[in-house]
Amino acid sequence: MKFVVRPHHILSLGGYIVETEFPYRNLIVVNATPEPIKLEVPVFSEEWIQEHRDLGLDIIPVTEEDNYLRMWRKEKARLEQIKSEFASDSQ
């Protein structure tokens, strides 16, 4: 199955990790580009991360020890900054 990540959008893939030996409990996906990008789900392997980074997505792995909400908010703030810079450059 494929998802389209809209431009300047963020999402979480915790429910789409199906490999029981996967080292991360969640993945935060950020599309900081002005273009939509397709991604493959579900996530089966660690190679998925690099494959999707190569497409231009920022992939932030979340481990059991990480504070998911803090990481989400950090990436959301970074994305909002990128969006505001993009909007001011477009005018």
Q: What is the pTM of this model?
A: 0.90
The range of the structural domain enclosing residue 58 comes to 2-90
Environment class of 48 (CB within 10 Å of its CB; exposed 0-12, middle 13-18, buried 19+): buried
- What is the SS3 assignment for 54? coil
Rg (C-alpha) for the chain, rounded Å, is 14
How much is the pLDDT for 18? 81
How much is the pLDDT for 57? 97
Count CB neighbours of 10 within 10 A: 19
How much is the pLDDT for 13? 94
pLDDT per residue, tens digit, the chain (91 aa), is 899 999 999 999 988 888 778 899 999 999 999 999 999 999 988 999 999 999 999 999 999 999 999 999 999 999 999 999 887 776 6
Q: Where are the alpha helices (DSSP H) in the chain?
A: 47-53, 68-90
Number of domains in the chain: 1
Which backbone phi and psi does 50 adopt, to 5 degrees?
Answer: -65, -40
